[in-house]
Chains A and B, each alone.
Chain A
Amino acid sequence: MQPTPQDVILETRDLNMRFGGLLAVSDFSAVFPRGSITGLIGPNGAGKTTCFNMITGFYKPTSGQVVFHGEEVQGRPPHALCRAGIARTFQNIRLFNNETVLENVMIGRHLRQKTNWLQTLVFTPASRREEKEIRARCMELLDVVGLADLAGEKAASLPYGAQRRLEIARALATEPSFLLLDEPAAGMNPQESEDLMGFVRTIREAFGLTILLIEHDMKVVMGVCEHLWVLDYGQTIASGPPEAIRSDPKVITAYLGEEQPHA
């Protein structure tokens, strides 16, 4: 089933990323239908995070296009892409450690704030109302990820799994339409991974998201993704529904065959 153009929220066309002599990603072309959950898998060093960095503006692709909502956006700075509706989390968690859990989410919300700090200086009613709204909205988001009780804690003091969920809440606060999750299940136990799968589906429904995730945990990948792209040494070696990928001989040799996956 080929998605029609208006159903495609994001598309990459022949993305290349070259670091000196190393071609980290070559000709990455993928389509992401609206509302889908897609997985990007491959062995370590295959170029998955590099793809994320190109899509979110942290790297400027050497060549190729990123088309988001029908518009070419490659090479724009990260904050502009975030404003356009692309949000992400990081493989190595990057929270604002000295800030509280609530403040972390509020920072994500800042992007959609209309009043500025000069108005807070003189207590304009509009700014007070908006700060209140932001707080309330961010508390709702914390509720969604189950961290409302910890709103006043310092982000650094949270347990690992909660930090991952806070990163997602923070990304949701920017009101994205396309969410990229970089190894959301890393470091989670089987029960937590199980919960994560349900959670990813829930937020897709609740926030009308299209989700792209990098994951090594095959149970999560096979359980939640509707479509997979497989990278190896920067090359796209396969793409298709999880069942097909599971039995694809190229994937098995490159990824599953030679060593045990980091399940």
Chain B
Amino acid sequence: MRRGRTILLNVLAIGILGLLLSLAEAYCNGYQTQILNLIAINIILALSLNLIYGFTGLFSLGHAGFMAIGAYVCSILIMTPDQKDMLFLLQPAYDWVQNAQAPFFAAVLAGGAVAAIFGAIVGIPLLRLGDDYLGIATLGFAEIIRVVANNIPRLTNGALGFKGIPAYADLWWNFGWALVTLYVIVRLLQSNTGNVLKAIRDNEIAAKAMGVDVFRYKLLSFTVGSFFAGIGGALLASLLTTIDPKMFLFTLTFNVLMIVVAGGLGSLTGSVLAGIGITVLLEWLRVVENPVNLLGFSLPGIPGMRMVVFSLALIVIILFRREGLMGMRELTWRSLAGVFSREKA
């Protein structure tokens, strides 16, 4: 496919997305809009974890930690000093927390940047660890972030968290950032650096023999992934308008992991599709948590039931379709064109 045509098709696709978003803005109710927003944020999170785990082979379970960092940094920057005065009831905020302020775009960016810095700092010691150990260590990191957030009341307002965070994160911001994430990660993976990351995933020893400074590239992937996890967390904070340390439990990482695995480790298309599908399913499945009246039997609603259903679904995926929805395949204009020309023939 010609480069020019690919660009044209991409612009067209973005145009259609824009159109759909303005339609959604006009016709969707608050609940539906909320789901659309969550889709965009889940896509950002899934793409960033897929870069780390699916493409570089680093089994990281620290996503909730990076999201928390992004969420707190962004929230502190977009709340007004007056709001913070009211919010920090137990102890007053540090002066620099109290006075820090930035426009939304800069605040989100700062959330990502601080998450990336933390990513690099924990990556330097942890990325020397192998598969499972890395998983455990990053899980520990996320837990540390959560506990720390609970215990620095002058920075994070402790267990009370933040309320009334300005709700700037609308459809345009969220999908805009999702596009930026997609673009950066696609370009990274298409470049020869992307080949190197996949090489590390496929065969680390051979990568070393090819002159790849494995550690440096692992750190690059981990840092970029953390950056977008921070972005996702920042947007989530502004979307939900309230955050507290309990929100960033391991289940948050688990949700993202589920999307990545269901979509296919090593497929960005898979992450996008699963990001849409699973976000919608998670909402539909709220039905199983409501009290039901089935043929005269009435069952009380069981909170958390949908996570049971979902975990079962994940087990089924791993048992019967380990490569996920897409495996390592991607949907590109070229492959789409291939499908259509084959149908014509």
Whether A78 contacts B188 by the Cβ 8 Å rule is no
Q: Given known contacts A117-B194, A120-B187, A134-B192, is B202 in contact with A110 (CB within 8 Å)? A: no
Whether A58 contacts B191 by the Cβ 8 Å rule is no
Say yes or no for B208: interface residue by CB 8 A criterion.
yes
Residues in A whose Cβ lies below 8 Å from that of B193: 110, 116-117, 120
CA distance A134 to B196 in the complex (A): 14
Whether A82 contacts B211 by the Cβ 8 Å rule is yes
Say yes or no for B203: interface residue by CB 8 A criterion.
yes
Residues in B whose Cβ lies below 8 Å from that of A99: 195, 198-199, 202
Main secondary structure of the interface of B (DSSP, over half): helix
Partner of B208, one of A78, A98, A109, A121: A78
Say yes or no for B132: interface residue by CB 8 A criterion.
no
Residues in A whose Cβ lies below 8 Å from that of B198: 96, 98-99, 103
Say yes or no for A111: interface residue by CB 8 A criterion.
yes
CB-based nearest B residue for A116:
B193
Say yes or no for A241: interface residue by CB 8 A criterion.
no
- Chain B: how many interface residues by the 8 Å CB criterion? 27
Binds B, one of A33-41, A87-95, A193-201: A87-95
Residues in B whose Cβ lies below 8 Å from that of A110: 192-193, 195-196, 210-212
Chain B nearest CB, measured from A151 CB (Å): 14
A102-140 interface (Cβ within 8 A of B): 103, 106-111, 113, 116-117, 120-121, 127, 131, 134
Whether B202 contacts A97 by the Cβ 8 Å rule is yes
Residues in A whose Cβ lies below 8 Å from that of B201: 98
Chain A nearest CB, measured from B192 CB (Å): 5
Whether B212 contacts A79 by the Cβ 8 Å rule is yes
Whether B266 contacts A87 by the Cβ 8 Å rule is no
Chain A nearest CB, measured from B9 CB (Å): 17
Residues in A whose Cβ lies below 8 Å from that of B190: 120
Main secondary structure of the interface of A (DSSP, over half): helix
Say yes or no for B307: interface residue by CB 8 A criterion.
no
Whether A117 contacts B187 by the Cβ 8 Å rule is yes
Chain B nearest CB, measured from A75 CB (Å): 15
Chain A nearest CB, measured from B269 CB (Å): 15
Chain A nearest CB, measured from B306 CB (Å): 34
CA distance A58 to B214 in the complex (A): 13
Say yes or no for A77: interface residue by CB 8 A criterion.
yes
CA distance A77 to B192 in the complex (A): 22
Q: Given known contacts A78-B209, A82-B210, A107-B199, is B266 in contact with A98 (CB within 8 Å)? A: yes
Indicate with 1 or 0, residue by residue over B67-107, a CB within 8 angstroms of chain A CB atoms.
00000000000000000000000000000000000000000
CB-based nearest A residue for B203:
A94
Q: Given known contacts A96-B198, A106-B192, A117-B187, is B203 in contact with A174 (CB within 8 Å)? A: no
Whether A96 contacts B203 by the Cβ 8 Å rule is yes
CB-based nearest B residue for A103:
B195
Say yes or no for B328: interface residue by CB 8 A criterion.
yes
Whether A88 contacts B203 by the Cβ 8 Å rule is no
Chain B nearest CB, measured from A134 CB (Å): 6
Partner of A107, one of B195, B205, B213, B266: B195
Say yes or no for B16: interface residue by CB 8 A criterion.
no
Chain A nearest CB, measured from B52 CB (Å): 15
Say yes or no for A170: interface residue by CB 8 A criterion.
yes
Chain A nearest CB, measured from B197 CB (Å): 10
Whether A108 contacts B187 by the Cβ 8 Å rule is no
Partner of A120, one of B191, B207, B210: B191
Whether B192 contacts A131 by the Cβ 8 Å rule is yes
Whether B266 contacts A111 by the Cβ 8 Å rule is no
CB-based nearest B residue for A112:
B211
Partner of B213, one of A79, A90, A95, A108: A79
A45-97 interface (Cβ within 8 A of B): 56, 58, 77-79, 82-83, 87-88, 90, 94-97
Among B202, B206, B211, the one with the most A-chain Cβ atoms within 10 Å of its Cβ is B211
CA distance A134 to B193 in the complex (A): 12
Whether A95 contacts B211 by the Cβ 8 Å rule is no
Whether A108 contacts B211 by the Cβ 8 Å rule is yes
Whether A79 contacts B195 by the Cβ 8 Å rule is no
Among B198, B205, B212, the one with the most A-chain Cβ atoms within 10 Å of its Cβ is B212
Residues in A whose Cβ lies below 8 Å from that of B207: 96, 107
Whether A107 contacts B192 by the Cβ 8 Å rule is yes
Say yes or no for B331: interface residue by CB 8 A criterion.
no
Residues in B whose Cβ lies below 8 Å from that of A103: 195, 198
Residues in B whose Cβ lies below 8 Å from that of A98: 198, 201-202, 266, 328
B172-191 interface (Cβ within 8 A of A): 184, 187-188, 190-191
Residues in A whose Cβ lies below 8 Å from that of B208: 58, 77-79, 82
CA distance A31 to B198 in the complex (A): 37
Whether A113 contacts B192 by the Cβ 8 Å rule is yes
A7-46 interface (Cβ within 8 A of B): none
Chain B nearest CB, measured from A167 CB (Å): 8
Whether A121 contacts B199 by the Cβ 8 Å rule is no
B305-343 interface (Cβ within 8 A of A): 328
Known contacts A58-B205, A110-B193, A174-B211; 13 additional CB pairs below 8 A are A95-B206, A97-B202, A97-B203, A98-B266, A98-B328, A103-B198, A107-B212, A108-B211, A111-B210, A111-B212, A117-B192, A120-B193, A127-B191
Q: Which 4 pairs between the two chains have the least Cβ-Cβ distance? A: A82-B211, A111-B211, A94-B206, A117-B193
Interface residues of B (CB under 8 A from A): 184, 187-188, 190-196, 198-199, 201-203, 205-214, 266, 328
A-B residue pairs in contact (CB < 8 Å), sample of 6: A77-B213, A96-B207, A98-B198, A98-B201, A107-B210, A120-B191
